[in-house]
Structure 1
Amino acid sequence: MDAIMTGLSFYGGLDEIGGNKIQVSSQDSSFFFDFGLAFSQANTYLSEFLQPRKANGILDFVALGLLPCLKGIYREDYLRHVGLHHTPQPAVDGVLISHSHVDHMSYVHHLREDIPLYLSEESYLILRALEETGAATFSEFLHLKKSFQLLPKVRGEGYTRKTIPVDREIHLTPPYQEFQVGDFQIQSAPVDHSLPGAAAYLAEDEDGMMVYTGDLRFHGRQPELTHQFVKKARKAQPTTLLCEGTRINSTGNTSEEDIQKKAEDVVNEFRGLVVVNYPVRDLDRLLTFYQVARNTDRQLVVSLKQAYILDLFQGRGYPELSEVLVYQPKRGWGMVSDDTYACQDDEWICSSDLDPELTRRDYRTWEREFLDQDYTINYRELQENPEDYIFRCDFFELKELIDIKPKNGIYLKSMTEPFDEQMEVNEDKVKSWLRLFNLPLLKGFHASGHANREEILDMIRKINPEEVYPIHTEGKEQFKVLEEDGIKVIYPTRI
């Protein structure tokens, strides 16, 4: 099926973990599988405080090799602002988002709003949370805010700068229900991964069937999803399989059940504050530590951001908001307890005696709905009764330890190990914070979101495509063994 082979263009996801941007083309139409950030390429040039300039549109991203130089896919405001041509019609018929990790969807921000996005309902909810709660410059996923717009002043002469909100064209993809993208008939196939809503895709046109795995695993809380996908993909008799291989060099797995048992053993023997860091969008991991807290007579304390995500997922098998506690950090003037004062009419007044609305102004609109609730606590409670809590604290929340002042505590790391220079730098900073507060660092509480070598090869053999393209991997040579089974292994090159 040479038509499919020549219709694949790879702009990321090769010889690297993440950065998937794969264009599939027929004679008259095309679409992308994912449109994500490439960690390795970004970390070569950028850091937390060294980022591309919005004022330069897409030019910084293209110059650094982060975005492909393609016509007809980028937003008009970014193009025209720097004098580039904008085509009347989009050059692709859609982007299929496999899941809401940044290495698969982050650069959707730069796409024009009339390119339809196809994704699961759960992925939509996570993008909604990222868009609403995030502070990053480039985080317009579901809605585009047209920049560099001058509008007449309401009063007086002249113009004023404005951003104009525009809705993107969003299509939710129910499991295994066919939908049309250009010439292609497509089905979304739910799979298990380290956040809700991950999906593989089956795409068929007159030249044959193509399957894209996205990211998946068989050892999570819903392995039946991935097994069903494998059965459906095998039945479809695909010509081509685009297969992730993140852990193609790894054997063995750690499950959420393994983490829960190990954490319970540790926490049951400890009398003090338990601090844990796990990914904010990994609701399976939240569920794990919620169970750990329940089984050790503690309560799980989550951040405002995770409370927002959890609220969106109520009724989907995760804890109710009332079943966890939500931590209220200091914002602005920091008026969350009676040891902060404000000057009013030349008199210094305790925060607790001031109008509560003055405190609420320190918080963003989405945060305010979680304040003053029965489940909301602050550092005072953690300080006074540390043995009652498991406190989720990520890298950016370490400063809360200054207020909590843990006298006796432990830190459970439930994250992947660093795999780039910036992550190693951050890891060293975490260790410095832990030394400052005498918090022992305990590791081994992480379960990968990816299948291992044996599972990947077994999956490919069961699906039995004519050809397989290793993507999202640094171990593509490990796929070569499949040629003994009559499966052609193709190593594509990046455009």
Structure 2
Amino acid sequence: MSDARLIYLPLGGAGEIGMNMYLYGYGPEGEEEWIIVDTGITFPDMETTPGVDVIMADIDFIQARADRLLGIFITHAHEDHVGALGHLFPKLLAPVYCRKFTGYVARNKMERTGQDPEQVNVVGAWPHQVKLGPFQVGFMPIAHSIPETSALVIDTPAGRVMHTADFKADKSPGVGEPFDPDLIRSIAGDGLQALVCDSTNVFSPAPGRSEADIIGPIRDVMREARGLVVATTFASNIARLRTLAQAATDAGRSVVVLGRAMNFMLEAGHSTGVLDSFPPVVPVEDMHDIPRENLLVLATGSQGERRAASAQLARDSYMGLELKEGDTFLFSSKTIPGNEVSVGRILNQLSEKGVTVIDDSSDRYHVSGHANRPDILQMHDLTNPKIVVPMHGEHRHLSAQAKLATEQGRTAVVAPNGTMVDIGGDAPEIIGYVEAGRTYLDGNQLIGALDGVVRDRIRMALRGTVTVSLILESDGRPVDGAWVESLGIADASHIDGGLDGALEREIDSDLEEANRKTLLSDEALELLVTRACNRICKALAGKKPLVSVMINRLELD
């Protein structure tokens, strides 16, 4: 098809870190067939998205073309790549493809949202390929901080594309396949049409370190600690969990795992065969029978999550276990940008208990799962792409990788979320833009970011609310007086009846002076009451609240 285009279109993950979702399309304009790479989530915060459970990409664009959606490919089992699968699947209804470990997690996501887990198809690693329409897609093993991460090799009539997913240049990752330059070079051949590449650590100037580099320092911590040791890391990093557990076992400590996420990931590792060995784990109910100085607790919550085991141990206790002066708490993780406050809260709470805290400010106890700048350049050299498309990073990360590529004489394009790029020619061409918004999971409902639900919630939090109930005769005359309840506004206790009493009196006074036309119009009454509430609340509390007016009119028999 001479008029066919090879399209790259990110809906999430390009211009931000998290919520990854990328589309690839091929065909004539308006007739393209599509595949999705990853269906990830990001997490809300109380400042901008209070009450929201998780955040996903807006899929309106691809949902409108679901009849031409051929499949969904998941590169690995991190939440920012697979977490939205079960929630979005009913709107997409396309088969899902991934490797065995990722499939275990993906099927769990489907089951928990009431979807058919059999829609998740487990496929083998390269050279196996899935053929869907104009696409042939293979899973190339690559190192990351979770097992069986795969770059996707996407063959199209316009050439071969490699979508790296998250990766690091680690030849000794502990669990999972190593970074294999020879395999990458052989797949790239004389050069790729396009390399779509992880940008997360582009500002880190030194080559990335291996998981093997931190085994010694972790052994030292376990050997030198005197009291109870608690260690936290990303629950999905089962290579790290094994390193921590083995170091503790070698130091004569028993191992307990606290937290659903960690236990699930270890179960997934054992069930799929990627975790072929792990030290014995003591049942939680038996941990109180073991002397504190002989115990390691692996706890969830490395990012300060309030309900996770780490936060509960720092605040008070968890399942009867309390931290004491002389215990040690090891953060074998980096704090994700945006989580500094919640992690800092835990650090301070641990300090108040007299617990020795070891964080990773010295870079001794954690290595990143993402490629640093020299490793990104190595990927460019190994694949020799005609076009470099940076992804997985904020805009500054994308721009920095694009600059690296152009400095090496390659062609690159910065394409944040919503940017539609034709990558099938000698140079990338931006051919359009689509709305790349967000979808919120709020309780059990999916809502749009612009639906107003969260906006109203923020307004209530900032300004408080006043609810007013009015009962009127059929001719508009008030029956008794207004009833008022305010929430989230400081009470005027120095006034008779407090704030609510002052509001009721002001509304009643305004109703007495209102003309018949106003009293017979619900719209005019709402405006009268709202103005009265704003006037009194501003004078007494310095706030103009969100006002809700309930009008009940009596009818003659």
Q: Answer yes or no: same fold by TM over 0.5.
A: yes
Superposed, which structure 2 residues align to 1:235-314 within 5 Å?
235=189, 237-252=191-206, 253-303=208-258, 305=260, 306-314=262-270
Cα distance 1:5–1:226, how it changes in 2: closer, same or farther (>3 A)? farther
8 Å CA contact 1:234–1:464 kept in 2: the answer is yes
Residue 435 (structure 1) aligns with: 351
Counterpart amino acid of residue 246 in structure 1 = T
Q: Does 1:141 align with 2:110?
A: yes
Which consecutive unaligned segments of at least 5 residues does structure 1 have? 53-60, 74-86, 132-139, 146-164, 329-376
The alignment partner of 2:70 has SS state of: coil
Give the CA deviation at 1:42. 7.1
Task: Quote the Cα distance in structure 1 between the aligned partners of 2:268 and 2:6.
Answer: 41
Residue 470 (structure 1) aligns with: 390
Q: Residues 176-230 of structure 1, C-alpha deviation per residue, up to 9 Å, x if partnerless?
A: 1011122211111111111112111111121111110000112233563443552
The alignment partner of 1:93 has SS state of: strand
Q: Residues 206-261 of structure 1, C-alpha deviation per residue, up to 9 Å, x if partnerless?
A: 11111100001122335634435522432273201110111010033343233221
Residue 489 (structure 1) aligns with: 412
Task: Quote the Cα distance in structure 2 between the aligned partners of 1:201 and 1:43.
Answer: 36
Q: Does 1:419 align with 2:423?
A: no
What is the percentage of aligned positions where both structures have the same residue?
A: 22
Residue 61 (structure 2) aligns with: 70
Give the CA deviation at 1:127. 3.2
The alignment partner of 1:285 has SS state of: helix
Counterpart amino acid of residue 433 in structure 1 = Q
The alignment partner of 2:83 has SS state of: helix
Superposed, which structure 2 residues align to 1:306-325 within 5 Å?
306-314=262-270, 316=273, 318=275, 323-325=280-282
Task: Quote the Cα distance in structure 2 between the aligned partners of 1:469 and 1:5.
Answer: 16
| Higher RCO (CA < 8 A, seq sep 6+) | 1
Q: How many residues align?
A: 386
Q: Does 1:122 align with 2:101?
A: yes
Superposed, which structure 2 residues align to 1:67-216 within 5 Å?
67-70=58-61, 72=63, 90-108=67-85, 109-112=87-90, 114-128=93-107, 131=108, 140-141=109-110, 144-145=113-114, 166-167=116-117, 169-176=119-126, 177-216=128-167
Task: Quote the Cα distance in structure 2 between the aligned partners of 1:214 and 1:4.
Answer: 26
Give the CA deviation at 1:438. 1.6
Q: Residues 9-37 of structure 1, C-alpha deviation per residue, up to 9 Å, x if partnerless?
A: 12122222222211111114210111212
Residue 387 (structure 1) aligns with: 293
8 Å CA contact 2:37–2:74 kept in 1: the answer is yes
Residue 344 (structure 1) aligns with: none
Give the CA deviation at 1:319. 6.1
Counterpart amino acid of residue 111 in structure 1 = F
8 Å CA contact 2:106–2:120 kept in 1: the answer is no
Q: Residues 363-419 of structure 1, C-alpha deviation per residue, up to 9 Å, x if partnerless?
A: xxxxxxxxxxxxxx24x235xx01111111233114356232333301100122240
Flag the structure with larger Rg.
2
Give the CA deviation at 1:441. 1.3
Task: Quote the Cα distance in structure 1 between the aligned partners of 2:391 and 2:81.
Answer: 12
8 Å CA contact 2:201–2:372 kept in 1: the answer is yes
Task: Quote the Cα distance in structure 1 between the aligned partners of 2:4 and 2:390.
Answer: 16
8 Å CA contact 1:11–1:68 kept in 2: the answer is yes
Q: Does 1:32 align with 2:36?
A: yes
Task: Quote the Cα distance in structure 2 between the aligned partners of 1:320 and 1:486.
Answer: 46
8 Å CA contact 2:232–2:300 kept in 1: the answer is yes
TM-score, scaled to structure 2: 0.64
Cα distance 1:4–1:21, how it changes in 2: closer, same or farther (>3 A)? farther
The alignment partner of 1:224 has SS state of: coil
Counterpart amino acid of residue 354 in structure 2 = N
Task: Quote the Cα distance in structure 2 between the aligned partners of 1:211 and 1:42.
Answer: 34
Cα distance 1:211–1:296, how it changes in 2: closer, same or farther (>3 A)? same
Residue 79 (structure 1) aligns with: none
8 Å CA contact 2:259–2:309 kept in 1: the answer is no
4+ runs deviating over 6 angstroms: 1-5, 41-44
Cα distance 1:172–1:42, how it changes in 2: closer, same or farther (>3 A)? farther
8 Å CA contact 1:254–1:446 kept in 2: the answer is no
Taking only aligned residues, the RMSD between alpha carbons, in angstroms, comes to: 2.8
Give the CA deviation at 1:327. 2.2
Give the CA deviation at 1:325. 2.0
Task: Quote the Cα distance in structure 2 between the aligned partners of 1:487 and 1:7.
Answer: 19
8 Å CA contact 2:154–2:161 kept in 1: the answer is yes
Counterpart amino acid of residue 139 in structure 2 = S
Cα distance 1:298–1:241, how it changes in 2: closer, same or farther (>3 A)? same
Q: Residues 421-443 of structure 1, C-alpha deviation per residue, up to 9 Å, x if partnerless?
A: xx123213312431343212101
Which consecutive unaligned segments of at least 5 residues does structure 2 have? 302-307, 419-557
Counterpart amino acid of residue 136 in structure 2 = Q
Task: Quote the Cα distance in structure 1 between the aligned partners of 2:136 and 2:146.
Answer: 26
Cα distance 1:436–1:102, how it changes in 2: closer, same or farther (>3 A)? same
Task: Quote the Cα distance in structure 2 between the aligned partners of 1:201 and 1:327.
Answer: 40
Cα distance 1:42–1:119, how it changes in 2: closer, same or farther (>3 A)? farther
Residue 21 (structure 2) aligns with: 21
Counterpart amino acid of residue 404 in structure 1 = L
8 Å CA contact 1:99–1:198 kept in 2: the answer is yes
Counterpart amino acid of residue 147 in structure 2 = P
TM-score, scaled to structure 1: 0.71
8 Å CA contact 2:73–2:97 kept in 1: the answer is yes
Give the CA deviation at 1:103. 1.3
